[in-house]
Every structure is written in C-alpha cells, then in structure tokens.
Amino acid sequence: IMSRIDYSVWDHIEVSDDEDDTHPNIDTPSLFRWRHQARVERMEEFEKKGEDMKKSLIECRRRLKEAQKKVQEMSTSTTDDAKAELSKAQAEEKKLKKEEREWEKKMEEHTREEKKMPWNVDTLSKDGFSKSIVNVKPETVEESEEEKEQKHKTFVEKYEKQIKHFGMLRRWDDSQKYLSDNPYLVCEETANYLVIMCIDLEVEEKHALMEQVAHQTIVMQFILELAKSLKVDPRGCFRQFFAKIKTADQQYQDAFNDELESFKERVRSRAKIRIEKAMKEYEDEERQKRLGPGGLDPVEVYETLPPEMQKCFDEKNIQMLQDVISKMDPTEAKTHMKRCIDSGLWVPNSKTEEGDEKEEDVTYEEVKQEQGEAKTE
C-alpha cells in the first residue's frame, strides 16, 4: 500500500519568504493526504477481509445445514446403498463442522484485531460521535482556484492575529473556549495558515514554538477531518472533538500523537528544503557579484591555480608571482594569468607610461619582461 502513495502532493507546499505575504495556494490537506489515503486503504482492506470471512462462514453454515438434513433423512433407511450414502453424508457433515469452527475462529481473531487497531481521525465518527447532535449542514458549493486564493487572502488579512493566538494555546479547554468564542476560525484557511507558521518557525530555528503550533495544526486538522466524516460543517462538531480527546484512552492519545509526530517531520523536511533553496539562491547571487570582467568567478579560478600561485595571491606578493611564472611552462602560465584577469583576481595596469591602454594579454608578457630584466641586472 505504501508504495502507491503519491509524494508529489508535497510539491504544492511552497511558502513565500516574505512573512507578510501568505501564499494563497498552499494546500494544507495534502500534508496529511498521503498518510490518510494509506490508512483509508488499510481500513478498507481490513473491512473487506472481514466481510469475505463473514460470507464464507454463512455459506459454510448453509451447506452444513443441508448436510445435517440429508443425514437425518438417510438415518431411517436400512438398505446397503442407503447406508453407504449415509456414511458419505456423515463424513461431509463432519468436514463442514470442522470448516465452520475454523471460520468462527478466524472471525474471532479478526474481531480481536479490530479492537487492537489504533484510533484515528477516520474512526472518530464511528465511535463516540452522533450525527444527530450536529445540525449544521456543510457548504457544498465548489470554489474555483481563484476564489479559494481570494478567500484565503481575505481571511488571513482579517483574522491573522486570532489564528496566531490559537496557534499558541496549549490546553484543550483553552482551545475549545477560544474556538467557541471565535467559531469562524474552524476552517481550512486557519489550518493553512498554521502550516505556514510551522514551516516559518522551523526555518527560523524556533523549534519549540514550531512544535506548539504543530499541535494546534493537528487539532484543527482532526476537527476538519471529523466534519468530513460526519458530513457536517466543522463549526458544528469541534465541541464533540474536544469532548472525545479529553476523555480518550491511551489508544486514542497515541493515534493523535502519531499524527502529530508525522506532521512535525514533514514540516522539518519542508523547512530544510526551503533553507537549502535560499542558501543556493544566496550563493548564486554572491557568485554573480564576484564575477570578473571576463565572466569568471575568482573563487573558482583561485581553486584551480597551482599551490605556489595561490600562495602569491594569499600574500599579495607580485615579486613572488613573477618568480613562480618564470619557472612555469609559458603556455600554462599564460592560461592561468588570462583566467586570473578574466575573474578579476589579477587587475593589470590599465595604462603604460605613455598613457596608452595595454591589452590584457600584455600583463603576462610584462611580468616575464620585468622578471627578465631583474635577472640581467
């Protein structure tokens, strides 16, 4: 099942570096969809397995009933042929009784497994929640992408302060009271913004704060998923969620914590990608600033120079450079000096004594000439 999960949904999570600009296209449900889909498939497969076993048990019992009836009818006959048939029927009855016990055993095992299964957001509506107590109908109007973007932007502009306040709450009672006082916050837009908050905080290395807001993000996500399961407006069922989570057993708490830990790992992963992207952009910008007149990067050119030439630039010693070049192969030396000039690592004299401009290639000849003159003195 896991191999079929589409991780590309994470490609939609792109958050602006401008903290005042909330990205309208962020698709919060996709953060949870990969786990949710896999869980739904496992649950469906488990339920189908149970239904198949139930059908097999019913069919086995039907055949056993027929066999028992046949045995009863044949018991009154005394002919040899009838006795042979009776023996055959009794053998079939015995076989079916054994088969029935095996199917019953399998059904019992399946029931035990079902009870051991961890609770999750998909099983909430099946245990402890009643649709009858929720009378708010969900909106069924399909929105276009443009409408969703505008709705998100307008909502955040209006309620950003309240969303941030909810994100910083810790206690169940405080969260429930705040949502009771501000029921409009129970929506996808709040969940979207909380996800952005989490990623921003992780990028800023505020790890403890990120974990706090992540907790509230999962609270909101559980409420939204519960609303979908019950087919009601989320504003009409958040109280039921809190009633359940506050009285839940260890199994349910473990399910909530499992969702939370998984989400935090996803946030860390997205933050890491964002940091790496920002670092690459910064390095590219710095490299562009460094490029010399010939379009080469002085750092990259420096790293390709022989160690003895690197030492000359480290010490900014022209005499040492002249000495090193004089001992090198002329073609190799000229190539290195040309790259140094094109990268700005070496800036040649721009004018001669007569005031005429020199060609850049003359620099190497100049160094050689000065070195030659120095040798003849």
Q: Tell me whether residue 107 is in a domain.
A: yes
305 and 281 within one domain: no
The DSSP line for 276-319 is HHHHHHHHHHHHHHH--TTS--HHHHHHHS-HHHHHHHHHT-HH
Q: Tell me whether residue 140 is in a domain.
A: no
Residue 33 pLDDT: 53
Q: How many Å is the maximal CA-CA distance in the chain?
A: 140
Does residue 144 register a pLDDT over 90? Answer: no
Does residue 170 register a pLDDT over 70? Answer: yes
* CATH code for the domain of 224: 1.20.58.610
107 and 212 within one domain: no
230 and 162 within one domain: yes
Cβ-based neighbours of 346, under 8 Å, separated by 6 or more: 337, 340, 363
Q: Tell me whether residue 377 is in a domain.
A: no
Could you give the C-alpha distances from 298 to 284, 336, 337, 344, 345, in angstroms and in order?
14, 12, 12, 6, 5
User: What is the rounded average pLDDT of the residues 55-61?
Assistant: 91
309 and 280 within one domain: no
**Residues 104, 23: Cα–Cα separation, whole Å:** 55
Contact status, residue 210 vs residue 198, Cβ threshold 8 Å: yes
User: What is the rounded average pLDDT of the residues 273-285?
Assistant: 86
Q: Which residue has the tokens 């018991």?
A: 75
Percent of the chain scoring above 70 in pLDDT? 73
Give the helix/strand (H/E) hosting 265: helix 250-290
Name the phi and psi angles at 357, rounded to 5.
Answer: -70, 145
Q: Tell me whether residue 154 is in a domain.
A: yes
pLDDT in tens, 253-268: 788 888 899 999 999 9
77 and 103 within one domain: yes
Q: Tell me whether residue 25 is in a domain.
A: yes
Contact status, residue 357 vs residue 350, Cβ threshold 8 Å: yes
Domain count, the chain: 3
263 and 330 within one domain: no
Cβ-based neighbours of 164, under 8 Å, separated by 6 or more: 197
Q: Tell me whether residue 248 is in a domain.
A: yes
279 and 150 within one domain: yes
Nearest to 233 by CA among 159, 135, 126, 147: 135
Mean pLDDT of the chain: 76
307 and 279 within one domain: no
Q: Tell me whether residue 273 is in a domain.
A: yes
Does residue 322 register a pLDDT over 80? Answer: yes
Residue 375 pLDDT: 37
The rounded Cα 76 to chain-centroid distance in angstroms is: 72
Local confidence band at 102 (pLDDT 50, 70, 90 cut-offs): very high
**Residues 72, 68: Cα–Cα separation, whole Å:** 6
261 and 236 within one domain: yes
Please give the residue range of the domain that contains residue 303.
298-343
Residue 183 pLDDT: 92
Q: Tell me whether residue 128 is in a domain.
A: no
305 and 330 within one domain: yes
pLDDT in tens, 38-55: 666 777 788 888 888 889
256 and 219 within one domain: yes
* pTM as predicted: 0.50
302 and 281 within one domain: no
**Residues 54, 104: Cα–Cα separation, whole Å:** 9
